[in-house]
Amino acid sequence: MTRETALAKATQYFETGGFQSDLARLVSYRSESQNPNPAAQAESLRYLTEAMQPRLEAMGFTCELIDNPDPKGGPLLLGERHEGADLPTILTYGHGDTVLGQEGMWREGLEPWEITEEGDRLYGRGTADNKSQHLINIAALESVLATRGSLGFNTRIVLEMSEEVGSVGLPEVFQTHKDRLTADVLIASDGPRLQPDVPTMFMGSRGGTNFDLVVETHEGAHHSGNWGGLLADPAMILAHALACITDVRGQIKVPEWRPDSLTDTVRDALRDLPVAGGDGPEVNPDWGEESLTPAERAFGWNSFAVLAMVSGVPEAPVNAISGWARATCQLRFVVGTDPENVLPALRRHLDAHGFEQVQIRQHDRGFFAATRLDPTHPWAQFVGASIRETAGDLHVLPNLAGSLPNDSFTDILGLPTIWVPHSYRGCSQHAPNEHVLKPVCRDALRVMAGVFWDIGASGFRGG
């Protein structure tokens, strides 16, 4: 009954093929929450009832399936394993839904719903986001349970099937079942490590909202020779409107989009953290807020992106002036940015620059709010110390650069939140050829077994 025994069991689970076999089964569920086909929705239910519920019940969890109150969302599973009223309670979370499989777009030899092993990589849709991540945490709990005979703490779990469509219904479920989700802390996993060979811990996430900017000037498309110089060109108007949102290096010019929350504590936490290297694209040092370090730009500041632009028919252009142009845009924002004021602020900014005719159309998918826990919080210190004991090193981020439904845990349940990601930035999540790295998964199993062992051994409750 030692910490090393629990870590050895987690390692054995990986090295004897159990992890890869279990992940292959999870990946085989075509749980695309972005797919409106009823068959995809049925897969989400099967994922919970066939893959998750029996495993959790075998660990001593009582489980209940919850219908999503939002018709656009999939089902949820709430589970609880209770060991004692005087023990700490840990809440954990995962999402079994994925983005679209994008069949036919993967590299030759790869299929989204089958695990393919190539060297240190395991390819398949959901491998990185998020099936491997909650599988690792569940397996780590099993390793501790098999070693000690108990966890030494109470555990509650939420598994949802709608994260990739904005976690629709999750806040309402949390409000309804708040008494069943009380805990001392959330410890969960999503997103990438900063570098694949060093564990990462973050305590919140940037918020995000998507919207379209649309210019409509006239009906139909008209001959550019006959009407050029007489009809306004919507693509040109839209291009100039976009150019007033940032300068030429992407520095944000909308006053309300420039946060004031990059405190000295946050700067200290981000100092010297690496953001370049690995398998991702090369970082452009001349892009983004000039006065900030790359880490501060990614984790302590807001970023605006144009995700797509179209006018006319790019695949078959004709000599005609289109009557419309559209850009799909996104703002990722940190704590200190009012999410309710993001689009009103943009409206005022565009109007002030003479672009009243540019329409702003918010997407149906809601935005995630920004959250952040101080890196000096006792739970951050405790989990960080445990990870360092296991792995020897750790990168600590005040918040993830991406977006998560973390605000439901912080604002509704009132929990400190600790995220320990098990992927890496080059994993191609949301794209063809999504994959995880086997060495990261093996290391993550040991890291999480250590964290759960230490909580049970200490009885720590965050005081």
Average pLDDT, the chain: 95
pLDDT in tens, 226-262: 999 999 999 999 999 999 999 999 999 999 999 999 9
pLDDT in tens, 132-157: 999 999 999 999 999 999 999 999 99
Mean pLDDT on 190-210:
94
**% of the chain surpassing 90 pLDDT:** 91
Mean pLDDT on 204-232:
95
Between 3 and 403, name the one with better pLDDT: 3
CB hemisphere CA count around 41 (13 angstroms): 11
**Residue 75 neighbours by CB distance under 10 Å:** 20
pLDDT in tens, 70-110: 999 999 999 999 999 999 999 999 999 999 999 999 999 99
Determine the residue type at 75. Answer: P
Quick check: 366 pLDDT over 80? no
Per-residue pLDDT band at 279 (split at 50, 70, 90): low
Which residue ranges form the domains of the chain, and what is each CATH number? Answer: 3-205+371-458 (3.40.630.10), 207-272+287-362 (3.30.70.360)
pLDDT for position 276: 73
Residue found under tokens 């030899």:
109
Angle between helices 438-458 and 3-15 in degrees, nearest 10: 150
Quick check: 309 pLDDT over 70? yes
Quick check: 299 pLDDT over 80? yes
pLDDT in tens, 11-51: 999 999 999 999 999 999 999 999 999 988 899 999 999 99
Angle between helices 132-148 and 18-27 in degrees, nearest 10: 140
Distance CA 99, CA 111 (A): 14
Which pTM was predicted?
Answer: 0.89
pLDDT for position 443: 98
Mean pLDDT on 373-402:
94
Nearest to 97 by CA among 131, 53, 137: 131
Non-local CB neighbours of 388 within 8 Å, separated by 6+ positions: 394
Per-residue pLDDT band at 463 (split at 50, 70, 90): confident
Per-residue pLDDT band at 5 (split at 50, 70, 90): very high
Per-residue pLDDT band at 277 (split at 50, 70, 90): low
First to last CA, the chain: 26
Burial profile 100-137: b = 16 or more Cβ within 10 angstroms, e = fewer: bbeeeebeeebebbebbeeeebbbbbbbbbbbbbbbbb
Per-residue pLDDT band at 224 (split at 50, 70, 90): very high
Angle at 274 between CA 432 and CA 296, to 5 degrees: 95
